[in-house]
Structure 1
């Protein structure tokens, strides 16, 4: 499916593209934020304009793909059984015009050259239960927040909608930021707490294997205080001390250059880093 590629665009062209994307996302936020299960539980079909319902009602998934995405099957042609409303045609044309290209043409990030399923820039505690794409996003976003925090003198970060706490955990234990995590879904909060406990258990095991290294690290850095919890969100366990034998220190980047061209580089755990709540 053809689409937009940000490569080769000027600064002004990228700015305009961002404006257009933001405008479209804001206009169709209710559709984009919907989960599949809500289609059945919240009657999302009934929230669509009547003209849209008339055009889409009764179409099979392959027909929807052919008409909405322009992806007909082999030997098939895109045929509309009725005249579609202009608003639906406008959404289709806008989505096609602003969608990013899915055509392979990018280089695999160096952190995935050795193992496409695991980032070499994140250690096992931060990769556990996280998909490769999410691993890359966590590292890049976390390092960006760390860079901005250093430039502005910010020492505390709030992660709103923290989910299972993967990003908060990396920013706190991996990059040394004081992080407060806010999540409204109690199930995700409980899941994040379980992952916190797994990480603390891993640290305890490493400390038993390397007591001298861990003792030296703890003497240098000390233990961090537990992060304060929001009302209704139990606080996480107290933060551990300095890293034990590089357990929390992201590994070196793969590839001939040893690092990504646009990466801030691996970050060790600074002193007094605490787990997110």
Structure 2
């Protein structure tokens, strides 16, 4: 690219980024405005339902409507993917709330309505593939992306029907249905970005026992460096690598299997305490010291502050060409460090703030909850009422244990409250007073279980909005650093509630 062409390109990119930044800022302000307006509801603890008489804090019209509605109506109202139908008119305030939240939220599934921001804030056009990586046999000869693709053509069979059964099987072993869905979806996205950016090396941070890494390496022919903080998980990952290579040796030609790189596993903790130079050295050694080191950073549900740190690492490392992460555990974000990231959040008079309750709620499965309401399984949601009723007993007898994390008990139709209370309290070495467990006051609380479910549903409506705010803040952070990115709903939220992937890439000619 000559100097004049480069200047024109830079000017066009600056204009596009400025426009995108403005749109992101507007969307962020919209989310923040709604969340601030209803913070009294979002920040409420459901276990304080009876302790603080939360039902009476709702507007009277909301209480009357919820009390008269059946659970299927509440489920339809809660679901953002379908138009609700009401037996009788609902208050305009409730209907307007739903519309406001729906319009501000990012889509939660690929088949849902498109968010205007996603259409105007695409990833950049990719450069000609130039990155190279040393082969897995340790020699210094490098292979281009095209050559790597040719030696692992069986990867296409992983996405096919009947031909995929033999090749898919080893990748499914020891993997839950949820994880299977996630790793296959994410692997497809990662491989597409790798091809577009000319990268054949991937750094999988927080790799666990390596399910995604094995699919990327043995399934798609990418060189993968796995970085995991726990040595026991890294050891298990190496064992599973050996198992899958042994299995694949029976179904694909030996020369093709030899061409596939095997994941390398490094035990290290990635965070602010890890210097960037040490990170690059660790990755370079893993990829056998390539002189043309270029890689993508991936993370399947990195916890808490790890996701923001990976974003910062991506921005600062010229060797990092793309980023693909799925968020998780927002309640573990450190205020001011993990959120907000964008300067707009820090510079505005009204700083973006999200309470722990809001961030924790953003991790809940709204689709599963709505489905239970729609399909007549609301009785299974009585567990919220049980916990709120138990909190009243705890506050009366052991006030120092208020809002204490207690053992989770799964509800079933045979589980009665006295049995629930005894199990939960005994796990905390507390002896429940029988007179409180069986009192009329307790029974009166238990009869209000529908109110608890409705209140919980009202709070849960805001969960996708909280997640949207966090994701848009991350997009704006990257955009302000000159990196174009997008948030894409790649996972089925019914299986994986954290369904979005944050995808960013750099133009190789600009880096």
TM-score (norm 1): 0.41
Max radius of gyration: which structure?
A: 2
Whichever structure has more strand as a proportion of its residues is: 2
Whichever structure has more helix as a proportion of its residues is: 2
